[in-house]
Amino acid sequence: MKQMKLTLLLTGLTLILVFMGRAIGGQGGMMIALIFACGMNFFSYWYSDKIVLKMYGAREITESENPAFYGMVRRLAQKAGLPMPKVYIMDSDSPNAFATGRNPQNAAVAATKGILRILSEEELEGVMAHELAHVQNRDTLVSTVAASIAGAISMLANMLQWTAIFGGGRSDEEEGSSPIAGIALAIIAPIAAMVVQMAISRSREYMADAAGARICGNPLALAGALAKLQRGVQAAPMEDARPATAHLFIVNPLSGGSIAGLFSTHPPMEERISRLRAMAQSR
């Protein structure tokens, strides 16, 4: 059921992109938009992990450099039945972590110096188990594809807006097209794409919380970590964080959850913690 919902959401994003292409360039524009979407997905599949790691200055570490943290990730990966991912450290005081990679065989997990400093060992295990759950569910690839398509829709919306204002339009004359309709579509389509993208991101966070709690065997430790991280990010937001990659992190690195719920990349923290506590009580 969850996979069907995900498929429908991604299909919806692709259809919005294709429709935007048709509004700008008719049938030819629709085909170009479809090819563009496929190209972006291909690029995201192969290169998104390298880009985001470089973007945040993440440095790969070896076991000899940090045996405690590296060993923790290795133990959790074994419990999850995953290959050992590459392990990275980010030189940031803002407490956060993320996972990336197109599949479990090419995965990486990254943590900031801030998160290593403020969490207990059990809480840090919960966080890294959450990130490995993302790897297990291939969430990083799904979220990156969704973000790429949503970004393309926003770009096409800007093009459509200017096309409508200056009287351009589709090459195949169809009844019902008008500058007002074009401007309306340019406003509505990006909002719809953003809502779909955020819905995908929030649903995957809930799933990773539950799966991560099972991997580490301690839902309350992950709940405690989330509460600490929420306060930590509010006190020290990540200075170089980008909205386009906010969905990758375990907590929103930009504002610590101040964005309105509908447009947030993460579910409400209170609800995440409540679900984990309920999970602990049912064990």
pLDDT digits (tens, 9 = 90+) for 194-222: 777 777 788 889 999 999 999 999 999 99
Q: Which two tokens stand for residue 160?
A: 């459509």
Instruction: Please pick, among 131, 173, 175, 205, the residue that the annotation labels catalytic.
Output: 131
Mean pLDDT for the stretch of residues 229-258: 83
Host domain of residue 258: 2-281
Q: Which residues contact 271 (CB under 8 A, 6 or more apart)?
A: none
Number of structural domains found in the chain:
1
Q: Which two tokens stand for residue 266?
A: 């993460």
Q: Which residues contact 166 (CB under 8 A, 6 or more apart)?
A: none
Band the pLDDT of 256: cuts 50, 70, 90: very low
| Cα–Cα distance, 14 to 214 (Å, whole number) | 33
Q: Which two tokens stand for residue 229?
A: 């991280």
- State the pLDDT at residue 41: 67
| Average pLDDT of every residue of the chain | 82
Query: Is 68 exposed, middle or buried, given 0-12, 13-18 or 19+ CB atoms closer than 10 A?
Result: exposed
- State the pLDDT at residue 144: 67
- State the pLDDT at residue 258: 45
Q: Which two tokens stand for residue 46?
A: 């192969």
Q: Is 65 annotated as catalytic?
A: no
- State the pLDDT at residue 245: 82
Cβ atoms 204, 137 nearer than 8 A: yes
| Cα–Cα distance, 34 to 32 (Å, whole number) | 5
Cβ atoms 164, 179 nearer than 8 A: yes
Band the pLDDT of 263: cuts 50, 70, 90: low
On the question of pLDDT at 35 being above 80, the answer is: no
Q: Which residue has the tokens 């790429």?
A: 148
Mean pLDDT for the stretch of residues 238-249: 84
On the question of pLDDT at 257 being above 60, the answer is: no
Q: Is 110 helix (H, G, I), strand (E, B) or coil?
A: strand
Q: Which two tokens stand for residue 173?
A: 């004359």
**At 85, which amino acid appears?**
P
Phi-psi region of 82 (alpha: psi -120 to 50; beta: other; left: phi over 0): beta
